[in-house]
Amino acid sequence: MIHIGILAITPAYAVSGLLVGVLVGLTGVGGGSLMTPLLVLMFGFHPSTAVGTDLLFAAATKTVGTTIHSAHKTVDWRIVGRLATGSVPATVLSLLAIAHFGVTSKGVTSVITLTLGCALLISAVTLLFKEQIIQLINRKFPDFGGDASLRMTILVGIVLGVLVSLSSVGAGALGTIALIILYPRLPLVRIVGSDIAHAVPLTLLAGLGHWYLGTINFTLLESLLVGSIPGIIVGSLSARYAPDAALKMALGIVLTLVGFKMLTS
């Protein structure tokens, strides 16, 4: 452990944050899909600790993204509000359920591990076959319409609230593809900006709930942020030069393997 001022940095965690930050900057894939299983499988953290710490990690990093998108007016706050209408109560109910059954109980641990594994596999499928999924659904439903989009967006928020509270996965890849399907005429940059903006209150609320439950490792969080912030900057600046298709294919395969590993561990 290295002490920098009041920070106590563990190099291995900082390097992990750096690598995940670079990949997030390059591909846009949510950090939870990469960081949470890394903390569980490689560093041996309890699933609840990995999820809780990653939630505050995501809240901090996505606040930066939201600030940038908001400044460029690429956030549709109407969509953010619709998502939050579903996600906020779903997050609160999920946290209450975790508190009721006990955050370290065998049942809660099993549910978190199962949810994480399934969320990773779903994220991998959406990453690998995003264009085909969007084309298929858009052929069947060319335009959901205002009322249908409103109801479906709230439903998406509910699903994301449960998934993110239990696994910290879902606010990125799953949220983005859902919004692309529901709002096909909206520019992609506004879809991404709105999804990132919604992820901030969602991950912050879920993270604060996990903090109350005692599942946050702040020493770990500090190390991850020290590595991830420069990593995201480097990845974002390098994104235009990266082989996008090859990177997403590799990440999709990794998420698939990790998802199966979580389900069978």
**Would you kindly state where each structural domain of the chain is located, as residue ranges?**
2-264
Would you say residue 205 has pLDDT above 90? yes
Q: Which residue has the higher pLDDT, 159 or 150?
A: 159
pLDDT tens-digit profile of 1-57?
A: 665 555 567 888 999 988 888 877 776 666 778 888 889 888 999 999 999 999 988
Contact between residue 251 and residue 23 where contact means Cβ atoms under 8 Å apart: yes
Q: In this predicted structure, what is the pLDDT of residue 119?
A: 85
Would you say residue 259 has pLDDT above 80? yes
Pick from 77-81, 90-94, 116-120, 234-238: least confident: 234-238
DSSP 34-95: HHHHHHHHTT---HHHHHHHHHHHHHHHHHHHHHHHHHTT---HHHHHHHHHHHHHHHHHHH
Residue type, 48: S
Q: In this predicted structure, what is the pLDDT of residue 41?
A: 87
Mean pLDDT of the chain: 83
